[in-house]
Amino acid sequence: MQKTTALAVIPSIQLKFAVPYMLEDLCIIDDKCFQFPWTIKEFDIIRKRDALKVIFHKDYLVGYIAYALLSDNIEILKMAIHPECQRRGLGKVVLNEMKGKLDIQKRYKLETLLRERNVEAQLFFKDSGFVWTDTLEGYYHEDDMTEDAYIMEYNYR
């Protein structure tokens, strides 16, 4: 039996800055992944104001990560992998790329907000080294319902 190394199972991806013609595809992925998907206009605002990178795997656009570079941290605004491509390690590779942007002197942590009921995302981030740091009660408001947001962080220090 041939022994495989951990490197042999890490998927290869390419992260590229999003350009306008990609936004419709991002909306399709977002619609498949979230109850409250972003519009093309919202993606375009993030693309211009913050950072929006698309994830390519085997020459296919399979997801995205939206983030903001703040004074001491990087805030992950939203991240999605197409459902047909999930659980293949792509998200972990993306987070490792984001961890590579951290610096002990300047931006030393990744931070994200997760919906209370999004247990799958909470477990994914926890498995990727993030820890819960706080709860924002009633942060999300839709119709007559409110939902807490959990702050999760990965600290480089």
Residue ranges covered by each domain of the chain:
12-155
Q: Closest by alpha carbon to 77, among 45, 105, 104, 107?
A: 45
Which fold does the domain 12-155 belong to in CATH? Aminopeptidase (3.40.630)
Percent of residues, the chain, with pLDDT higher than 90: 67
Q: Closest by alpha carbon to 26, among 36, 35, 38?
A: 38
Instruction: Look at residue 62 in the predicted model and tell me its pLDDT.
Output: 92
Q: pTM of this prediction? A: 0.87
pLDDT digit string, tens, across residues 80-118: 999 998 888 889 999 998 998 888 778 899 999 999 999
The pLDDT of 133-150, averaged and rounded, is 90
Instruction: Look at residue 6 in the predicted model and tell me its pLDDT.
Output: 43
Instruction: Look at residue 2 in the predicted model and tell me its pLDDT.
Output: 42
Q: What's the CA gap between 50 and 70, in Å, rounded? A: 10
